[in-house]
Structure 1
Amino acid sequence: MGSMKELKVNLVRTDVVTAAVPMEQHRLPLSNLDLLLPPVDFGVFFCYKKPGSLEFASVVSTLKVSLSQALVDYYPLAGQVVANSAGEPELLCNNGGLDFVEAFGDLSLRVLDLHQPDETVQGKLMPEKKRGVAAIQATELMCGGIVVACIFDHRVIDAYSANMFLTAWAEMARSADTSLKPSFCRSLIQARNPGFTDPSLDEMYVPISSLQPPSEVEQEEGHVDNLISRIFYITAKSLDGLQRDAGSSIKSTRTKLESISAFLWKTIALSAKNRDQITKMGIVVDGRTRMGNNMKTYCGNVLSIPFGEMVTADVLDNPLSAVAETIHGFLEVAVTKEHFLGLIDWVEAHRPEPALAKIYCRGNDEGPAFVVSSGQRFPVFEVDFGWGKPAMGSYHFPWGGSAGYVMPMPSPIGNGDWIVYMHLFEEQMNIVEREAGHIFRPLTPVYLGL
């Protein structure tokens, strides 16, 4: 894959797309759970085979018109993040619009290196967000295939919300009924009076002022620059095998996500400098189902990131089932309504000082740390704009922190396989490819049938 011709993308045109109907300007506060996110963007992209006899100009017209319609319901995406009187970020809903970029790439889908998105997606197929809350790029490839990529301000929406938006946008492009109407009602995520916070939340989240500055060694090593991204696939058979191995002796079952997370923890722990180092692993939990049925259509962040920590030797020496049991244990704490209500209250007690999940704050002498976020709701089968389902789709989140990030998603093949996006330090990625290459296989055009 590394010897392939380099992808060159020419930006042809940039337009600003606004909501199809006029919007009255107003401010929308970010929720307490939004305030836990730093100013970081995440992306998604979808690859489509040549859309029959449709010209690219017609494709772009459909995308723009339907996007303008979708922004009527998803109006915050056409706004911008500004500071309120307390210095906290909030949304100015002014229908300022978002950038829509048209581009041309000089490769075909069948030779596009999707395994190494740093070389193809980042800075080429993924737009740069220069204004507002989101940006979109549609790239025509030499074969007539199309890549549609979007980037979002994570402080405004999470992956669940982005999935809702993408599905609605595609439905409008097909003139289909919209399946869900979004809600931006912040009263659904409101601190209690009086509030109550469990002491365990102080172990999961930390005010920014309490963070340790990076050590001189870390600054010299430039850890952020060593983070790289890869996309793999894992077969349904391998997933089933991991799940069997992650079961305990009392025949309790573990989810596929718990099982793959345990396997990755044991693999990435091999990168620790010594066996006495503390290594951490967290899993993103969506609180919508825990908070009640009225949260199903809520747009915004409803996330918590519980994590566990172990001495590296224990992660390496214990069987997969024991590591999976540890993961199951720290997850149980965060899958309740009370946990999310307490987290909302915790943020309220610390405002206006920003805070952050501790798993993202790697200590100076700590070992490897990473977060797994389930992307099983990723709408790879739903984002059909009228010319067919994507041949490939993935999140793209090179967030640049000091902890790795892993996002497994359903494979577009539809056979039970998973696509796995990884953003790890280069040494960790090398270990994954060397020690777990039989499980995590490089994503190739051949696998995707391109």
Structure 2
Amino acid sequence: MDSCGFPVTVKRSEVVAAVLPLQEHWLPMSNIDLLLPPLDFGIFFCYKKSSYTESLSPENMVAALKKSLAQALVSFYPFAGEIMENRHGEPEILCNNRGVDFTHACADVELKDVDLYRPDVSVDRKLVPVKMRGVLSVQVTELKCGGIVVGCAIDHRAADAHSANMFLKAWAEMAQSKTIARLPSFRRSILNPRRPPQPHKSLDKFYAPRLPPPPPSSGEDEDRLTSRIYHIKSEEIDRLQSLATYNGTKRSKIESFSAFLWKSIAEGGGDRSKTVKFGIVVDGRARLGGRTPASLECYFGNVVSIPYAEATVGDLLATPLKGVADMVHECVAAASSAEHFLALIDWVEMRRPKPAVVKVYCKEENDEAAVVVSSGQRFPVQDLDFGWGKPEFGSYHFPWGGQTGYVMPMPSAKRNGDWIVYMHLMTKYLDLVEARAPHVFVPFKF
């Protein structure tokens, strides 16, 4: 069966609002939120039919999801609001409980036949909705085999992955009639700029004024960004970490994997003088933890920085993996202090209301490629039991546009140390890493 050709039929579309009334108010964006352009990221979870679901009809499961969503939105009320511009042209969240667009759909396919290796054609706009309004949209799709897929589209300006994870866990807790273990904090004052602001000139390397997006690429297929999902065995991750370790210097698994990917992309470059930019998403909650650690751990919003390093194709090819891992480590270290995040907040403050953007998003003429790696190791796939068992599979889906690649490694739902890796790169680089390292990048299949 062609798993990409399955039809999806909408059975019902409605709006789910918080179950309790809310006093309408505006929630301002933090300076770090303002670095995010208006883009959405997707998350989806696949559930097999099991003994838990034998006595539950799809309608009962959907009803349980809607009820618990309405309860979770009481605490996570920004997700039931809208993002609108203020008089300065900056986005703010209007917390008005307009609700979440909720779609109940049906797909004529069994879960085992869904080609998750190619999410652009099997997931995008089929199992993960397109968010038309609001901050969050949800689609629940029942499958021919009795399983279901829960897909969400979230406005990145309102929440980072940490915030989305908090919400998803709370939603599952509500579905099981549990108390929410971690209530969100919306204290924007935690991320207020200093008086006077003290930005660092070094941040000019990582951030820049936001320019209009480039026109869509009209090049060949190999120049288009494509999404694929891979399964990487734990022993391969350990092997990469071992190769990146020397003289007692042990690099993290994500640093080792990033170094391997950076070198692999360089192998696809024809011009050795061209540059490959490599960015790493760094969560600032632990770095700023000395201020108010409890509030930051529960903070809802964006607390991320994306430093990047760059090297020529020739230099990357000539440098052993452990040397490239050192470069990745130094890149992460550049954004691993409280001072970096405080200076970043101040840097944005000095330029408001002019919008800014992460510089690695802006591909330049001499760039062979640019890619950002975000660690999804806290992805709570095992916690998302809505009353019928844990997911069989979960992943992000983030075809964010532009010309910069995006990679998100996350733990396998099997909890065996394996990784599920969502990769959004030029087709030629995906083909290259598969051909050069088929033992590492294994196309995902059930």
Cα deviation, 1:314-372, whole Å, max 9, x if unaligned, reads 11121100000011112111011000000000000010011011111110231111000
Is the 2:117–2:443 contact (alpha carbons within 8 Å) kept by the matching residues of 1? yes
Pairwise CA distance, 1:220: 4.4
Q: Match of 1:22?
A: 21
Pairwise CA distance, 1:271: 2.5
Select which of 267, 281, 284 maps to 1:284. 281
Pairwise CA distance, 1:98: 1.0
* Secondary structure of 2:298's aligned partner: coil
Cα deviation, 1:158-209, whole Å, max 9, x if unaligned, reads 0000000000000000001211000111001100001111111000000125
Q: Match of 2:10?
A: 11
- In the TM superposition, 1:36-435 aligns within 5 A as 36-50=35-49, 51-209=53-211, 220-221=218-219, 226-248=224-246, 250-292=247-289, 293=293, 294-435=295-436
| Distance across 2 between alignment mates of 1:158 and 1:144 | 32
Q: TM-score, normalised by structure 2?
A: 0.96
**Which segment is superposed worse, 37-46 or 328-337?**
328-337
Runs of 4+ aligned residues of structure 1 deviating over 6 Å after TM superposition are 222-225
Is the 2:45–2:391 contact (alpha carbons within 8 Å) kept by the matching residues of 1? yes
* Secondary structure of 1:384's aligned partner: coil
Is the 2:223–2:427 contact (alpha carbons within 8 Å) kept by the matching residues of 1? no
* Secondary structure of 1:101's aligned partner: strand
Pairwise CA distance, 1:270: 2.0
Pairwise CA distance, 1:225: 7.9
Q: Match of 1:448?
A: none
* Secondary structure of 2:5's aligned partner: coil
2:442 maps to 1:438:
no
Is the 2:120–2:226 contact (alpha carbons within 8 Å) kept by the matching residues of 1? yes
Pairwise CA distance, 1:273: 3.5
Cα deviation, 1:356-394, whole Å, max 9, x if unaligned, reads 111111102311110000000101100110100000000
The runs of 5 or more residues in structure 2 that have no matched partner are none
Could you tell me the percent identity over the aligned residues?
52
* Secondary structure of 2:371's aligned partner: strand
* Secondary structure of 1:221's aligned partner: coil
> Residues 222 and 165 from structure 1, CA distance in 2 versus in 1: closer, same or farther, beyond 3 angstroms?
farther
RMSD of equivalent CA atoms:
1.6
Cα deviation, 1:415-441, whole Å, max 9, x if unaligned, reads 100100000011111111111211010
Is the 1:271–1:368 contact (alpha carbons within 8 Å) kept by the matching residues of 2? no
Is the 2:3–2:122 contact (alpha carbons within 8 Å) kept by the matching residues of 1? no
| Distance across 2 between alignment mates of 1:274 and 1:5 | 36
State the aligned residue count: 439
| Distance across 2 between alignment mates of 1:64 and 1:225 | 41
| Distance across 2 between alignment mates of 1:230 and 1:268 | 15
Cα deviation, 1:223-275, whole Å, max 9, x if unaligned, reads 99811100001111001100000113x22000000000000001111222311
Q: TM-score, normalised by structure 1?
A: 0.95
Pairwise CA distance, 1:85: 0.9
The runs of 5 or more residues in structure 1 that have no matched partner are 446-450
| Distance across 1 between alignment mates of 2:12 and 2:220 | 36
